[in-house]
Amino acid sequence: MKETKFDYGMIGLGTMGCNLVYNMSDNGYTVIGFDKNRSQVETLKKEAGTEKISATSDLNEFLNTLKTPKVIIMLVPAGKIVDDVISELKPFLSKNDLLMDFGNSHFTDTNRRSEQLEESAIHFMGVGISGGELGARHGPSIMPGGPKKVYERVAEMLKAVSAKANNEPCVTWLGPGSAGHYVKMVHNGIEYGLMQLIAEAYHLLKECAAMSNDELHTVFSKWNEGELQSYLIEITADIFMQKDELTDSRIIDRILDSAKQKGTGAWTSEDAMNLQVPIPVIDIAVSMRDLSAYKNEREVAHQNMGGSEVKFTGDKNDLVKWVEQALYFSIITVYVQGMALLQVASKKYKYDLKLEDIAAIWRGGCIIRAALLEDIRSAFSKQPDLSNLILSVAFSKKLMQSQEGIRKVIQTGVGFGIPVPAMMGALAYFDSYRSGWLPANLIQAQRDDFGAHTYERNDREGIFHTHWNQKK
């Protein structure tokens, strides 16, 4: 090891960690990686081929070759491992050293770690990062939170390695504490919703219209040239053409229909419920992943009850048009719900989030990047305190113009016994939000009847309770 002092340290040399190291090096920064897995260390050293990058399994060597104050990035799995890494590092860290957690940590853990390290004058930042392995290598969307002055120490590096949208870096300081990890959590919740909606569109076209993989590729490719243009629509079109290496089939037809999750979608639903913010499409997406895992039970139920025997006799082109409208409508509602949650969380947790900035940094690099985000950025630019995008003229118009398609698609799905729960949730959310009256008065009456929970009236102020005519 030469006497080189490295700008940054990277703990965790998996695919994401290595790719980010290469990205940082390409942009002029020197990085030393650390991993207890010696094979990963040797792989990085062999492939790097440059003095800007090194790697080691020796913690002392790793720490001693970093410039001071030290800046260390952690890219390890969320949970106990992060705490273990911090505990191992802490005795060797000094005042003004900076730890940056680039993993998908729960925002409450980030708050706890920040407070504990600040007692020793060691800085901590929770940084969300999205884009997968290619994003890490060529430019991800980066969502940093923590002290603003600390962010400014690393801002130029983050801007350099981030994705660019309209020549603007897809990174900005989001807010104090756990703001970065909270925004990344909601990003992933939106991602869950989008993926479920696209899967429902696929289900309808495959079952109702009996479309082949080639036809599905053509449809999704065309959609990606219009209002639905997005990363997820783009890769979906490509997926239908991917050949299987083990058989003569397309790989999509050989993949088990049982999806998994790492928890960030469920975390989004959990905190939305705590904050009393309705995000039904995201909730349903989480539930459908859970339901998909009951593969054996679903097969038994199918054998016992089967599916609908109704056959689609309509025009296939009409169905494609309806599904396109339905997908656009419901995708809008996912972003609407995610942004509404961020607006409430910003006030509750004192993040002071700028939703215009969040939409801007999601335009490139991340999994949920889409043409629609430019419209979202514009809406919040005009109305920064907008509580819900449905209330903006631009988005209310988009939803009104595309609602015919989703109503027809839901009718079709119900008629054929094809589940479209996320689309149903999207439409129900829209119809409920724009309804000046909902039957919650009956719910309040029931609560007061059985539990004396009281209620409010629509004709006068105050809290009321009625002695109901209950049967003894």
Annotated binding site for substrate: 104, 130-132, 187-188, 192, 262, 289, 447, 453
* Contact status, residue 165 vs residue 364, Cβ threshold 8 Å: yes
How is residue 123 annotated by DSSP? E
The phi-psi region of residue 352 (left if phi > 0; otherwise alpha if psi is between -120 and 50; otherwise beta) is left
Longest dimension (CA), the chain: 88
Taking each helix axis from N to C terminus, what angle separates 421-433 and 179-207, rounded to the nearest 10 degrees?
120
Feature table: binding site:
104, 130-132, 187-188, 192, 262, 289, 447, 453
Q: Which of 70, 184, 398, 408 is catalytic?
A: 184
Amino acid letter for position 390: I
Q: Give the angle subtended at the CA of 312 by the CAs of 309 and 316, to the nearest 5°.
A: 155
Number of H helices, E strands in the chain: 19, 9
Distance set, CA 196 to CA 58, 226, 282, 434 (Å): 44, 20, 9, 24
- Cα separation, 341 vs 282, whole angstroms: 11
| Phi and psi, residue 201, nearest 5° | -60, -45
Q: Which residues, other chains included, contact 207 with Cβ-Cβ below 8 Å and sequence gap of 6+?
A: 416, 418
- Cα separation, 177 vs 145, whole angstroms: 6
Q: Which of 191, 200, 227, 324 is catalytic?
A: 191
| Phi and psi, residue 314, nearest 5° | -80, -170
b/e map of 286-317 (b: 16 or more CB within 10 Å)?
Answer: bbbbebbeeeeeeeeeeeeeeeeeeebeeeee
* Contact status, residue 446 vs residue 454, Cβ threshold 8 Å: no
Give the three-class secondary structure for 351: coil
Q: Checking DSSP bridges between strand 8-11 and strand 71-74, what pairing results, if any? A: parallel
| Residue 184 annotated among the catalytic residues of the structure | yes
Would you call 453 exposed, middle or buried from its count of C-beta atoms within 10 A (0-12, 13-18, 19+)?
exposed
Q: Which residues, other chains included, contact 383 with Cβ-Cβ below 8 Å and sequence gap of 6+?
A: 392
| Residue 191 annotated among the catalytic residues of the structure | yes
**Catalytic amino acids?**
184, 191
